[in-house]
Structure 1
Amino acid sequence: MVMMTYYTGPLMLISDDDKAKILRGLTEKKLKRMKKIELLPLLLVVLTCTVYRAGAQDLVLSPEKARSLALENNRNLKKAQKEIEAARAGKASAYALGKPTLDGSLGGFYFTEPLTAFLPEVMGNASLTVTQVLYSGGKVQNARKVADAALGLQNARKELTEDEVLLKTETAYWQVVDAKEKVILAKKYIQMLDTLSRDLKNSYDAGLTYKNDLLKVNVQQNEAELNLTKARDGVTMAKLSLAQLTGLGESEFDVQDNIPGGFNGVLKEETISALERRPEVDMLSKAVRINELQEKLLAGDRKPVIALSGIGYGSFGRNIDMTKGKDDMKGFVGMASLSIPIFDWGGRKQKVVEQRFKTDAQKIELDETKEQIMLEIRNVRLSLNQSAQQVALAQKSLQQAEENLRLNQDRFDAGTVLGKDVLEAQVLWQQAYSNLIDAKAGYRINEARYKKAIGDY
């Protein structure tokens, strides 16, 4: 964007209408009277305002820019990131397990008779407890492993969300390009029909052709105008979808007007290596791992727990230490505990069995997902190869349609064919052109689907 700041006076605030009036009012006679030093700032002001306004609306998206904006602004990705942060906090909490804990307490009491015969009327207590678990059946270690796997699962889930967002964004992008190409085609087709209509009108006025030939072209013109309206509406709707995915909202933007690049098929089979790159497989693998660790955690409930505790205390009150007649009393208590599960009617055991079945079910889902992914990759690969063939055939058809149109136009100019023959050739050309646009856009969409399928986004 070009910014010119040679002049910063009141003229910077003039409107477009005022600028137009000023320019219209500068007659040649007045221009000669004005000094160049006085005219230059005014022209710079006008140029600056115009350039600034034009530059603000010149956002042209490329596929790469669209994908970048989608990754930056998509709400689902922001939600996935929050879930990762939650998993990190859960991991930090799990790694705090097994470490010594420190707890403190304060209390104050007021007693009335008959308790005052044994206790002070007012008394305060303070205690500090340190506890260290020595053995818990492996639950601490397994809880940490669960937290690690949970964080990995959330990262894989975000990666899957990114792939889905990128595919939707790229699909929407090429749909916008497709719709814009259809608008360009519709305009070209209307120009062709207008030219043919003028030629037939001249021939009809000269008595060289029948009116029905001219009417056929007029009907086609009406249909072409309707198709142009539909194409423009298609651009609007496609842009709304892309704007929602990229976070642009109601901002003005445009996309590139063509579909560049090659359109080659895929020969290499990548189903096996692609499985390792798919986030779905990573997610389910982490889920299986979490289920296995949950089984071990439940099994830990059936094992003893050994812990050490130390409690330091202090009490304050009139003559609270009756043995020494002091108003304060301090001490320390050391304690070792052993908790052993003995009998619970098989409740803990059945929880372990329940979790084992859940783990087996998760493994079956993982195997099923792998098979589905392999099938998906093969199907998308076939679709991409078919799209490549469709592009090649559509290009060939368009070349033939162009040659057919040229020959019919030459013969029409020579008076050897009728206007309806040129009209038919134009219709064939328009259909071939439209098919090529759809084939190219379809190829790019299938190419994006193939990249997602093999985990190559």
Structure 2
Amino acid sequence: MKKVLFVCLLLTGQLTFAETYVLDLDKSIAIAKEKSYSMMRLVQDFKIAEYNLKSATSRFKTHIDLNLTTPEYTETIRTFEDSTGLSFYPVKRLNYETGLVINQPLPTDGNVYIRNGLYNFDDFFSNNRSTQMNMRIGLTQPLHAFYGYNSIRSAFRQAKLAHERSSKQLKREELNLIYDVSNAFYNLLSVQKSEEIARLDLDRQKEAFDIAKNKFDAGLIREVDALQMEVDLAEAQNNYDLARVNQASAENYFKELIGIELNDSVVLNSQFNYEVVIVDPDKAVELAMKNRLEIREQEIQVELNTMSVKQQKADGMIKANLNAYYEKAGVSTQNINTQLGAALSNAYSDFRTRPQNYGVGLSISIPLLDWGENKAQVRAAEARLKQNVLRKEEVQRSIEREVRNLVDDLNSSLKRLQLLEKNLNVAEKSFEITRQRFSDGDIDSQALALERNRLNNAYNSHLRAYINYQLKLADIMRRTFYDFQKDEAIE
């Protein structure tokens, strides 16, 4: 009894949490943008690029670090050798220290820093307390950054390009998702309509079978005609069952794509209405050249390759570094029993009176012989740059061809849809006339079956043409970043 109750509660919970979605295409796309796994992954990729850009921007800002040692106690054995031999004695030391470093990177790839330190060493073997404080202001500047490769500016530019690329990738994948959802939506709509057509066909076949059975019982038709109607009814039933299986499969795929639970119900709302959209091929090509990520990706890659060539050339140049500092220091040594405050005061007094320290240095590195290693690497980088320039031109031509063909297909699919819409109206009227003639006994079952197949083909052809036209509109939107139905750019 408990098991039965548990199963009932479980099923009740499942039924409670199942939702019913009444969706049109726009609602389906909105849900997919929010819940689909592919979109959520892309959002995280975009966040990564944003954080990387923020990190690169922060490299230009002041960095402050505080280092503390509070305290550090050590016990070691030290050796001492003289004329009397080798002696060992213990060394016990207590160490306190703190350091504050303020570092300001420069756009010239150098940095200015201020380094403050306060140190105290208690040596229990010699009974001494040593205290030291210092302050250093310094500058480091690689001079080759002015004529060679500036790493900090290049890193910032690379981060900006990566952010731009991620932003455009997100938009492209969003348009791809719109197309995929549109494809799945219309595919589900197609199988639902096919199921409806199969059900209507089954109903018509049942009606025809009943008419044929009554006629056969009355001796008005041959047995072979009645048997043929029975075979046609079985075929219609099989087609209907198969259509229901296809509908369930398409529904599950659609739910997975837009990110809803498989046990949820989906009801599609579409009236098979369409807008007549005429696309100018020249405008479509212009928009594609302006907005397509593939072209911008190649431009970004060309810029990155240009940086790589510059960096490789800089590796073979003369390098020079300028270093300068100004330092004040104060030290004091007293008995270990001296109070820490007094020791610090003594060190500060020495800090004020002790002459300052300073230094200026220029270091130069001159590559003399590398047997053509750097030159070969530069040539390889230049070849990669040329390769990407050619690739960019190839992509531009490919996109122009692709968009022009797509516009031609769109205009052609519109004409076909309009034609098949008229054919469907004719086929519906023709079938009604044929069914009435069969009821009156003017034609046999084969003629009725032929007309029924013609009507089913008209339904399916019109459905395929409608879906093809809608998908062409979605496809040209994702390939030009422009909504021709609304006549507005995709932001």
Measured against the shorter chain, the TM-score band is 0.7 to 0.9
Q: Conserved in 1, the CA contact under 8 Å of 2:309 and 2:378?
A: yes
- Whether 2:145 is the aligned partner of 1:145: answer no
TM-fit CA distance, 1:186: 0.9
Counterpart of 1:266 in structure 2 is 279
Counterpart of 1:286 in structure 2 is 300
Counterpart of 2:364 in structure 1 is 340
Write the distance in 1 (CA, Å) between the matches of 2:139 and 2:257.
52
Counterpart of 2:476 in structure 1 is 450
Counterpart of 1:10 in structure 2 is none
Q: State the identity as a percent.
A: 19
Any stretches of 5+ residues in structure 2 without a counterpart?
A: 1-7, 9-14, 81-86, 102-112, 114-137, 337-342, 483-489
Cα distance change on mapping 1:434 and 1:239 into 2, 3 Å: same
Cα distance change on mapping 1:98 and 1:268 into 2, 3 Å: closer
- Whether 2:321 is the aligned partner of 1:305: answer yes
Counterpart of 1:404 in structure 2 is 430
Deviates more, 1:446-455 or 1:297-306: 297-306
Amino acid at match of 2:365: P
Write the distance in 2 (CA, Å) between the matches of 1:312 and 1:247.
65
- Which one of the candidate residues 412, 416, 424 is aligned to 2:450? 424
Write the distance in 2 (CA, Å) between the matches of 1:128 and 1:245.
54
Amino acid at match of 1:425: E
Counterpart of 2:221 in structure 1 is 209
Any stretches of 5+ residues in structure 1 without a counterpart?
A: 1-16, 18-52, 321-325
Counterpart of 2:50 in structure 1 is 88
Counterpart of 1:6 in structure 2 is none
Q: Conserved in 1, the CA contact under 8 Å of 2:35 and 2:258?
A: yes
Report matched runs for 1:192-271 at 5 Å.
192-250=204-262, 251-262=264-275, 264=277, 266-269=279-282, 270-271=284-285
Report matched runs for 1:13-162 at 5 Å.
57-97=19-59, 112-114=77-79, 122=93, 124=95, 127-128=99-100, 130=113, 132-135=139-142, 136-137=145-146, 138-162=150-174
Write the distance in 2 (CA, Å) between the matches of 1:110 and 1:311.
32
2:219 match: secondary structure: coil
TM-score normalized with structure 1 length: 0.77
- Cα displacement string for residues 115-140 of structure 1 (whole angstroms, at most 9, x for unaligned residues): 799x9853645555535444434332
Counterpart of 1:383 in structure 2 is 409
Write the distance in 1 (CA, Å) between the matches of 2:382 and 2:328.
44
2:260 match: secondary structure: coil
Write the distance in 2 (CA, Å) between the matches of 1:101 and 1:233.
64
Write the distance in 2 (CA, Å) between the matches of 1:127 and 1:407.
99
TM-fit CA distance, 1:295: 3.0
Counterpart of 2:340 in structure 1 is none
Counterpart of 1:394 in structure 2 is 420
Q: Conserved in 2, the CA contact under 8 Å of 1:146 and 1:294?
A: no
Write the distance in 1 (CA, Å) between the matches of 2:68 and 2:357.
17
TM-fit CA distance, 1:210: 0.8
- Cα displacement string for residues 46-67 of structure 1 (whole angstroms, at most 9, x for unaligned residues): xxxxxxx999744111111111
Q: Conserved in 1, the CA contact under 8 Å of 2:407 and 2:476?
A: yes
TM-fit CA distance, 1:391: 1.6
- Cα displacement string for residues 88-110 of structure 1 (whole angstroms, at most 9, x for unaligned residues): 33323333446565566566565
Amino acid at match of 2:302: V
Cα distance change on mapping 1:310 and 1:397 into 2, 3 Å: farther
Deviates more, 1:267-276 or 1:105-114: 105-114
1:340 match: secondary structure: strand
Cα distance change on mapping 1:341 and 1:368 into 2, 3 Å: farther
Pick the structure with more helix per residue. 1
CA RMSD of aligned residues (A): 3.5
Counterpart of 2:400 in structure 1 is 374
1:253 match: secondary structure: strand
TM-fit CA distance, 1:280: 2.2
Q: Conserved in 2, the CA contact under 8 Å of 1:170 and 1:445?
A: yes
Write the distance in 2 (CA, Å) between the matches of 1:185 and 1:123.
91
TM-score normalized with structure 2 length: 0.72
Cα distance change on mapping 1:275 and 1:112 into 2, 3 Å: same
Amino acid at match of 1:295: V
- Whether 2:189 is the aligned partner of 1:177: answer yes
2:387 match: secondary structure: helix
TM-fit CA distance, 1:268: 4.3
- Whether 2:164 is the aligned partner of 1:164: answer no
